[in-house]
Structure 1
Amino acid sequence: MSDESLLIVSPECWRDACFSLPATRALARVRPTDILCPEPQRRLWEASGVSQVLTHDGSKKSLAESLTGIQHVLLWEDGVVAKACVKAAIPDRIGLPAPGLAKKLTRSLERTVRPGPPEHDVRRFLDTAATLGAEPFQQENFAALEIEGERYPDKVLIVADSDFGKNHEWPAGRWIELLEELPKHLLVLASGPLARKVAEATGIEVLEISDPIEAARFGQLIGADGSMPHVAAAFGTTCAVLYGPGDPDLIRPLGKQHSIIRRKVECSPCFVSSCPLDLRCQEDLSVGRVSNLLRGFIPA
């Protein structure tokens, strides 16, 4: 790594990693840029075009040793890697002053807050790249990544389970009723506890998917608010996402081609881990509403 190389530490969350992709690609066009990411994200970043992909297992001691000699690092969040960067005495630690991170930075960046409604979370990454001299608002930075191996453009992946928690999952009975209306020969269920219940009732094939990138092999994805739609979208899969407590205005998958399905209720978005009421954002989302919004989404 040269003295001018920038090491960017990927966010731990898959969704945020996908949101940081366009900014990272923009920065890689103006200076040598490497990525440090959790091992499971390796394939995502190898497809992004950065100079080098380094991975870590979350061990602060081994991380600090591996960071010796690095001069410039861009941090998006606090955590074990940020602490390791301090321990390694990296002289130029750059970032927005996020909670817990500000004291670990040697160069805090300022971000202009624009008037109007809250912006999509991708803007904090894009604005940071622009501050560092890149031109992030260009189409090539948002182009779909390439996935190696076979793709299934005529198949639809159903992702009923969410790694964000049960609050983000539509009830099993609703999924069963919806899938009975759809052409079953086109459908595949991504593995998970909820998916297995749905598969038992519908007979739809369940595919074991441990790596979210495997979701990108499918032409379409219908799923709960979780990591898989974001990763699949990064590789060009068209997604329809069912939102409950989350806010699609802030965290929808990148790209105008995706569909957002939700029943907006008084208390959403709430962002709580456990609903103190009756999970009405999911319970009030009817099969009829979802079915109508999916019209034309699935290939004939």
Structure 2
Amino acid sequence: MKKWLISFILLLAAVVLAACGGNEEKSETQEASTTESKEIKFGATAGPYSDMVTKIIKPGLEEKGYTVKLVEFSDYIQPNNALDTGDIDANLFQHSIYLETFAKENKMDLTGLISVPTAPMGIYSNSFKSLDDIQDGATVAIPNDPTNAARAFNTLQDAGLITVSKDADPLTVSEKDIDDNKKNLTFQPIEAGQLPRAVESADLSAVPGNFALAAGMNLLDALQLENMDDKYRNVVAVTTANKDTQLAQDIKAVVESEAFEKAIDEDFQGFGKPTWMAK
């Protein structure tokens, strides 16, 4: 009886150990499967940047074995919220300054992975066909937010229409920093989204590239395109915890490829290339 009891206990122990081993093996298999998964979600706002993901980035990642789903957003809030919560793996819609400010204000740990060619601000006009035609006292519609207003003044300076103080920070230039207003231009600050329509009412309108494209405008019709600071170029963003992952490395490899630049030249004419791409 004693021998039988000992044998039963040993048999029971063996069964339990085998079950635990099987569960551990199953758990390890599930973990490996999750780790090796190449199904990703890439967020972008509707328009040129969702097109950039669909036409260039997605095919490039698929060549590396990923299955890519585009998640399209209609505002500038949800793409970062979704990235922060893990609902998407990366996004493309914002420049570095916006990303840094948004992440700080909302206590998110997000990182710009790599900058991409970006639609520049342009000075558009239905009144004048060239910069030389601009008359004294012309009205210029400019964005009413400080960040985009600074871009407008820098672009007007590049066009030779104003001179900005050498002591002014290019990222925060305002009307008070103008040293010389050669044409006595009159500035009319309005909401950035209304600037495409302002081409009809003002002599000149400084239109950010995303709004110009959304309104069906051709970037190459601008009298002057912005010589964009890299901080205003859109970036692919990921969570800081994922900035060194294989996915992050593969995204960078796709964006840095010759195929990517060739597609930009063919399908995104007028987009300003980041400094790293121009080298």
| TM-score strictly above 0.5 | no
Larger Rg computed on CA atoms? 2
Instruction: Return the TM-score normalized by structure 1.
Output: 0.29
Structure number having the greater helix percentage: 2
Higher relative contact order by CA 8 Å / sep ≥ 6: 1 or 2?
Answer: 2
